[in-house]
Amino acid sequence: MTTAPAITRFAPSPTGRLHVGNIRTALHNWMLARRNGGTFILRIDDTDAARSLEEYVDAIRMDLVWLGLDWDQEERQSARLDRYEAAFAALKAAGRIYPCYETAQELDVKRKIALGRGLPPIYDRGSLKLTDAERAAKEGEGVAPHWRFLLDHAEPIVWEDGIRGTQKFDAAQLSDPVIRRADGSWLYMMPSAVDDIDMGVTQVLRGEDHVSNTAVQIQIFTALYAAGFAATGSAAKTLPEFAHEALLVGREGKLSKRLGSLGCDAFRERGIEPEAIISLLARLGTSQPVEPVADRAALVESFDLSTFGRAPAKFDEKDLERLNAGIVHQLPFEAVASRLPKGMDAAGWHAVRPNLAHVGEAVDWWRLVTGPIDQPEFSKDDKEFLAEAARLLVWGENPWAALTTALKEATGRKGKPLFLPLRQALTGMDHGPDMGELLPLIGEQEARARLAKAIA
C-alpha cells in the first residue's frame, strides 16, 4: 500500500438506508483515509434518478454523523453529468463505445440459449457486428440505442488486490458492459471510474461483489487515459489500488434479509453505541481481536488490510451486545450525560456503569438511589442485625466500609449473611452496583429511613 495520503471514497446509492454491510465499507474507507492524514469522500451515486431519493441522502449523512464517520468532501454524481458526457465522447471517438439495439427480451433469450448450451451468458456483440446500413435501418425504425463499452480482449486484466492478492481476468470471459441506457441515463460502471479519476481516488475498497466490476473498470480507466481524458490538473494517469473485502454473513452463513436491512436506527433503538458497531465492524473478518475499543484513534492505528481474511465475515448480534457492554463500561460521564436520568451525576454514573449492558438501563439502577424501593420481608435474626446496623451507622468518608467493618466485629457475620440483608434493606435488591459507591449517593437520611423501615 502507498504511504502518500490516501484518497478514499464511500459511494452509496441513495436508494435505501445504510445497512451493516455498507456501514462496514464506509468505516474501512474512513479508517484508510484517517490512518495517514488522507481524504475521505462521501460520494452519492445518484445517477439512477428514478430510484434515488433525497430522504435517503439525508439519512445516509445522518447515519454517518451518528457513527462518527466524518467526511472531508461530498460529491454527487447527478451534479457531474457533463463529465460523463465528456468521457463518453472521448471513448466513443476512440472506438471504445458502440450502440446496441437489442431489446431486453432479445437479450434474455440470448442468455437462456447460452446457458442452455452450458456456455457462460456472455454478450455476443451482435450489435457490434451490424453493418452501417443495418444500424441506419434500426435508427430509421426509431429504435434508440443503448451503449456498451468495448472490452479489449487482447488486453490482460491484472491487479494486485489489497486483500485477495493477484487477480487476473480474461476480458473475453466478460460481457461488454452497458454503460448508458437508451434514454441517455447512466449505469454505474463508467461514471464511477470517471469519478475515481477526477477525484484522484488512490484506494478503492469495496465488497467482493464488485470484483468483476473492477476488471471492467480497469479497462475503462486505461481507455479513458488513452483517449486523453484525465482529471483537470492531474498529471498522473494512475489506477487506484483496489481491495475487495469478503462479504458479511449472518451466523447461519448468508446475509439474511434481516441482517441485510439492519441499520443505524435499529441499533440506536436497541441502545447500541456507535463505538460498539465500530469496534465490531473494524475488525470482523480480520486476524485482529474483536474487542470493545472506545479509543477510535487506536482502532484507526491498527487498521491493516493485510489482516483481512478471504472467508466471509460472520456478523453475530451476540458479539455486538458483548461489545456494547464493554463500551458502556468505558464511557465517561460527559459522553452520556444527556441520556441519563435527571439528577444523576458523575458519581452516580460511575457507580452504575459496570452493571449496564445499555446506557438506557441507568434509569433502573438510579431508582435504587432515588427510591422508593421495595424491601423483602426480613427474618427476626436479620431484623436484629439491621437494627444493629442502624446503631453502628456513622456517616463519614466511606460509610459502607465503616459500617460493614463495625458490623462484622459486633455480630461475627461475614460474607453473604453480612452483606445481603444490608443490600436488600438499602436498595431492595439482591445484587447491583457497588454498595461503597451507592451508599453515599443514597445519603445518610434516606439510608437511616430505609434501615428503620426494614426493622419495623
The interface region with ligand GLU, picked from 11-19, 142-150, 161-169, 277-285 by CB under 6 A, is 11-19
Question: Which position among 6, 14, 40, 45 is part of the footprint of ligand GLU (CB under 6 A)?
Answer: 45
Asked if 190 is part of the footprint of ligand GLU (rule: CB under 6 A), the reply reads: no
* Lookup result for grid cell 482502532: 299
Whose Cβ is closer to ligand GLU: residue 12's or residue 428's?
12
Sequence-ordered alpha helix ranges (H) in 270-375: 274-283, 296-302, 317-328, 333-336, 346-352, 362-370
Cis peptide before 372 (omega within 30 of 0): yes
The interface region with ligand GLU, picked from 8-16, 279-287, 352-360, 397-405 by CB under 6 A, is 8-16
- CB 305, CB 243: distance < 8 Å: yes
Whose Cβ is closer to ligand GLU: residue 312's or residue 417's?
312
Whose Cβ is closer to ligand GLU: residue 80's or residue 450's?
80
The interface region with ligand GLU, picked from 5-13, 153-161, 286-294, 413-421 by CB under 6 A, is 5-13
Whose Cβ is closer to ligand GLU: residue 195's or residue 273's?
195
Whose Cβ is closer to ligand GLU: residue 12's or residue 250's?
12
- CB 288, CB 305: distance < 8 Å: no
Sequence-ordered alpha helix ranges (H) in 154-242: 189-198, 211-226
362-378: string of b/e by CB count within 10 Å (b at 16+)?
beebbebbbeebebeeb
Q: CA–CA separation, 341 vs 346, rounded Å?
A: 12
**Half-sphere CA count of 386, side-chain side, radius 13 A:** 26
**Angle 30-34-37 (CA atoms, 0-180°, nearest 5)?**
140
- CB 10, CB 43: distance < 8 Å: yes
DSSP string of 57-72? HHHHHHHHHHHT---S
Question: Which position among 47, 175, 192, 424 is part of the footprint of ligand GLU (CB under 6 A)?
Answer: 192
Minimum CB separation of residue 324 from ligand GLU in Å reads: 27
Minimum CB separation of residue 62 from ligand GLU in Å reads: 18
Whose Cβ is closer to ligand GLU: residue 91's or residue 243's?
243
Residue 50, all three cell numbers: 428514478
Whose Cβ is closer to ligand GLU: residue 12's or residue 326's?
12
Whose Cβ is closer to ligand GLU: residue 42's or residue 389's?
42
Minimum CB separation of residue 11 from ligand GLU in Å reads: 4
Whose Cβ is closer to ligand GLU: residue 8's or residue 424's?
8
Minimum CB separation of residue 304 from ligand GLU in Å reads: 21
Q: CA–CA separation, 335 vs 362, rounded Å?
A: 14
* Lookup result for grid cell 445517477: 47
Minimum CB separation of residue 45 from ligand GLU in Å reads: 4
Asked if 370 is part of the footprint of ligand GLU (rule: CB under 6 A), the reply reads: no
Minimum CB separation of residue 174 from ligand GLU in Å reads: 17
Residue 112, all three cell numbers: 437462456
The interface region with ligand GLU, picked from 6-14, 98-106, 145-153, 417-425 by CB under 6 A, is 6-14
Asked if 382 is part of the footprint of ligand GLU (rule: CB under 6 A), the reply reads: no
At 167, give phi and psi (nearest 5°): -120, 130
Q: Which one-letter DSSP state was computed for residue 447?
A: H
Residue 379, all three cell numbers: 427474618
- Is residue 5 classed as helix, strand or coil in its secondary structure? coil
Question: Which position among 6, 8, 12, 87 is part of the footprint of ligand GLU (CB under 6 A)?
Answer: 12
Minimum CB separation of residue 438 from ligand GLU in Å reads: 50
The interface region with ligand GLU, picked from 9-17, 34-42, 380-388, 397-405 by CB under 6 A, is 9-17
Task: Report how far apart the first and last C-alpha atoms of the chain are (Å, whole number).
Answer: 74
Binding letters toward ligand GLU, positions 197-216, x by CB under 6 A = ---------x---x------
Asked if 13 is part of the footprint of ligand GLU (rule: CB under 6 A), the reply reads: yes
In Å, the largest CA–CA distance within the chain is 110
- CB 209, CB 247: distance < 8 Å: yes
Asked if 26 is part of the footprint of ligand GLU (rule: CB under 6 A), the reply reads: no
Minimum CB separation of residue 219 from ligand GLU in Å reads: 15
User: Residue 226 to residues 56, 120, 217, 314, 393: CA-CA distances in angstroms?
Assistant: 37, 30, 14, 42, 87
Question: Which position among 11, 87, 91, 150 is part of the footprint of ligand GLU (CB under 6 A)?
Answer: 11
Give residue 219's Cα distance to chain centre: 30
Find the binding residues for ligand GLU in span 58-117 (CB under 6 A): none
Residues that bind ligand GLU (CB under 6 A): 11-13, 45, 188, 192, 206, 210
